[in-house]
Structure 1
């Protein structure tokens, strides 16, 4: 199981802010300071071995604390490269996709739904149809969302959970839970009966000087453990 998945989801789908009511991508994943890049390294085996890690996801942030680029890797090398575009209020409005050779693949548009408190409650991604590169002027998008994310808050409007629905996995949802701004649990749940298909619980086991977590322990539903290193680079 890919234990880095929830971190990718949390950044990819959270991307939003609104004027003074801004919650940056960094804040949404519990990071402090002027973070420039974040790289997750995942163990290849179940033992905590410093020499058995490989980069799984790599994120770059602008100085507003919003994600600008993401690289996704396997143990064989770069798989995908994504770039993110925002409006003047720092709301995510589009994404551009490239393959492992950094060749253009596709575009998508993002639609955001905010409540009366200007909090993001739903975000939908629509993929472009046809050749997005050569037909950028008359670009058309699918009427069916590629992915939908709904956001749930407590009484103080702190984000406590978000659910991801994928077009190609319509019978399940990906549920991520937060506590005090930190991601603590990720579950794959069958929508019809609520059965938990898989689950991972996350604990921080090491922090850096800015009190950002740089090593996580992920415990699966069968009690197997995996370890994740986070390499953080800061703006100077």
Structure 2
């Protein structure tokens, strides 16, 4: 078995950074079950089959796209991945392309040099350890260079339909504002979703929450007047301007 390549992984969010935006004091209780059902029924009605906004073709290209999206926007990643995936649609082709080759395709996204190293290294590990296939367990996925729990959860959810919760800053914000899933950091919010969101909504919960945070419950100016779940949301003060 080949040794694991050892590029420095992307720096994770520190506990200090998480604490800086975490709720102060004791966490409020999560919304009651009936309110959770009401909210997710509304979100499901508006988007019955939510999917990631990252463009991908299969498990491998999704894994690469999510790894590239760390500290970058989905829009920015989607601008570079079509050409990258045309050139290197498999782990073998990605390794053959090499770090410099990958770098040439992804220069417009943040941390592109380290991400290029990670993409080539994770591709090599897929070849050496997993026969060129993307593994279907969280533990195995997290052995890949540059792949953390959030990336692993996105792949598990989108490819294998495992109700894994990939918590990012949008979900952290929405989970706490709405009290769907209160938590002081991403790990607590992930557990709160698993513990409190009713089972029929678990599979797609993180998609609904991230889209809601991205387009409605925005960080600086939440669009409360157009929010479909406003009647069930305890967040105050609510904005009055729909812009």
Normalising by the smaller structure, the TM-score range is under 0.3
- TM-score normalised over the length of structure 2: 0.26
Instruction: Identify the structure with bigger relative contact order (alpha carbons < 8 Å, sequence gap 6+).
Output: 2
Q: Between Structure 1 and Structure 2, which shows a larger proportion of strand residues?
A: 1
- TM-score normalised over the length of structure 1: 0.27
Q: Between Structure 1 and Structure 2, which shows a larger proportion of helix residues?
A: 2
- For the pair shown, which has the larger CA radius of gyration, 1 or 2? 2
